[in-house]
Structure 1
Amino acid sequence: MKYAVLDEDNRIVNLVAAKPEYASGQGWIEAGAGQYGDRWDGAKFIPFRDEALSEIAAIRWSKTQFFAYDDVIAYAEPAMGPVMGKIRILEELDATGPVKFKLNATTWRDMTLSDLKAYGLAIDAFMQPFYDYEAVLAGQIEAAASFEVVNAIDLMSGWPA
């Protein structure tokens, strides 16, 4: 049976074939399909690629929450769903507005259907480069053959400004 030897961060640093009674005395954990670099979360191994992919998604998400629009710092990704919903409703009602729309926690605007479409397009133009860069990093992570290669990928720099 294969057992995992973990470092202080609960990552696999060695895989050992051993008898269960010996492995349990060493504090090793049954490895199953675990690979070098996978992290033990107390219940299962999390593949090193999955953790890196989650990290870049979180970075992208944090960078796309707000952007400069109409002289304010406005919601970006959080507003996309509501903007698209309001556009669809106005189009279904064959209405042009204006409607009250919240650009951030304290800023409201009277917006016509055209204004909402312009806001939606501005959000998309702002966010797409972040998604594009996340896709580049995800491709590098997926192609990595080892924990060391994933660990060498700089997840923090290179993002759009």
Structure 2
Amino acid sequence: MIRLPIVACVVAFVALAGAVGCRPLSQHPLVVEAVEEVRGNARVAETLGGPVTCKTAVRGTANETDGIASLQFDAIGSKSQGVVVVEGKKTRDAWGVTMLELRPVGGEKLSLTADLEARTGTDTPKFDPGAQPASPAAAQPPPGDIEIVLPPGPPGQ
């Protein structure tokens, strides 16, 4: 009868994983957007030869907590093949592409970020570690006099 609780735990775990959002990287919003751009991009078709197909095996990481992702998948055309690299940032519960490029075998990298921005009208700014922080609001000066009232000491003092 020990097997019944184990089976129940496994079923509960699978149900919880499905509810929490355990999904393959091939369904990640950045990959979906990148695949759409790669399949419809004329420069990609010219480089790899049309029609272009994208493999569903995705490599990389997508950290939902930190909101940073770097993913790669293969794209194959009639003339050549290459690796598609997509990086993104999650802000306000929505993923945005910060970099999209095709790295064809034996060829130069082809940046697709501007093409994607032109097609979708979305411009996700790149992270700039050298950017100046926003100026904080003027801090209030501390009060001139501070009175600290302590409770009475232990009995007998």
- Structure number with bigger Rg: 2
Q: TM-score, normalised to structure 1's length?
A: 0.26
Q: Which structure has greater helix proportion? A: 1
The TM-score with structure 2 as length reference comes to 0.27
